[in-house]
């Protein structure tokens, strides 16, 4: 069985998807982290991703794999665990930019479809219900007001690094989120949008547990 959870950042998607998977005993896959892994590889290898030949060579030689350690999925690029490098502002911004490139989406689509063979899973991303798993049993699309999403993201970043507040304003976080939404929603291939048969949940005024409960109810019914 496949459950897809799509939506923009700051809707609580990752936390919700992880909890839903835990409650149902399913495997959880964060597909945004796969785009982030490729973005990280492009950054550290200083690849000019606008150069088709260089990008093609990088994609052909970059081996992306996932392993579970102590209940947490780790992302590997050419056998190196890069999980702790995927949440920087640079990787966040580049992952959105490179997610518009067909060759990158093709590579990751293949990996995502291969992962599901023989297991029940929760896939979280932007195009899981529309493009990757159009036949998923339950599709969820999470939304929330942009200011609510930016506030959540800002608080999350400050909680991780107290110096963040000294260098970044809330307005900048809101602007970054709006730019990323704009790019994710308007790209030509697999844009961020709800599948026609997705259940829409606005998380602006809901706690994580309330959203999880709603999804479990939808899955069971």
CB of 95 to ligand DC, least distance (A): 4
Closest to ligand DC by CB, 99 or 221: 99
Query: Rounded to whole angstroms, how far apart are CA atoms 178 and 95?
Result: 15
Residue nearest to ligand DC (CB): 32
Please say whether the beta carbons of 116 and 4 come within 8 A. Answer: no
3-class secondary-structure state, position 198: coil
Q: How far apart are the first and last CA of the chain?
A: 14
Closest Cα to residue 157, out of 168, 146, 142? 168
Smallest separation, CB 159 to ligand DC (Å): 17
Q: Is the CB of 11 or the CB of 26 nearer to ligand DC?
A: 11
Closer CB to ligand DC, 177 or 212, in the complex: 177
Q: Among residues 38 and 215, whose Cβ is nearest to ligand DC? A: 38
Smallest distance from ligand DC to CB 35, Å: 3
Residues that bind ligand DC (CB under 6 A): 9, 31-33, 35-36, 95-96, 99, 125-128, 180, 184
Minimum CB separation from ligand DC for residue 109, in Å?
9
Minimum distance, C-beta of residue 221 to ligand DC, in the bound complex (Å)? 26
- Name which of 58 and 153 has its Cβ closer to ligand DC: 153
Q: Decide whether 41 or 125 has the Cβ nearer to ligand DC.
A: 125
Contact 55, 103 (CB under 8 A): yes
Q: How far apart are CA 186 and CA 183, in angstroms?
A: 5
Distance (Å, whole) CA 116 – CA 8: 23
The 138-143 sheet, strands edge to edge: 27-30, 121-125, 2-6, 138-143, 199-202
Cα 40 to its chain centre, rounded Å, is 14
Minimum CB separation from ligand DC for residue 176, in Å?
10
């Amino acid at each position: 069985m496949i459950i897809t959870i799509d939506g923009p950042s700051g809707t609580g998607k990752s936390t919700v998807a992880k909890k839903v998977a835990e409650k149902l005993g399913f495997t959880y896959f964060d597909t945004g982290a796969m785009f982030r892994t490729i973005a990280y590889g492009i950054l550290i290898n200083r690849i000019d991703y606008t150069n088709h030949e260089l990008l093609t060579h990088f994609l052909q030689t970059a081996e992306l794999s996932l392993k579970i350690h102590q209940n947490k999925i780790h992302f590997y690029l050419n056998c190196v665990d890069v999980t702790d490098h995927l949440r920087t502002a640079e990787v966040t911004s580049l992952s959105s930019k490179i997610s518009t490139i067909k060759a990158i989406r093709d590579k990751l689509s293949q990996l995502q479809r291969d992962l599901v063979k023989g297991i029940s899973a929760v896939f979280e991303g932007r195009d899981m219900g529309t493009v990757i798993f159009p036949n998923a049993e339950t599709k969820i699309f999470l939304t929330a007001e942009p200011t609510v999403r930016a506030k959540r993201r800002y608080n999350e970043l400050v909680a991780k690094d107290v110096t963040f507040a000294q260098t970044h304003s809330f307005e900048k976080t809101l602007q970054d989120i709006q730019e990323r939404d704009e790019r994710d929603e308007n790209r030509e291939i697999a844009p961020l949008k709800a599948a026609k048969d997705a259940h829409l949940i606005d998380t602006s005024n809901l706690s994580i547990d309330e959203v999880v409960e709603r999804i479990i109810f939808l899955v069971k019914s």
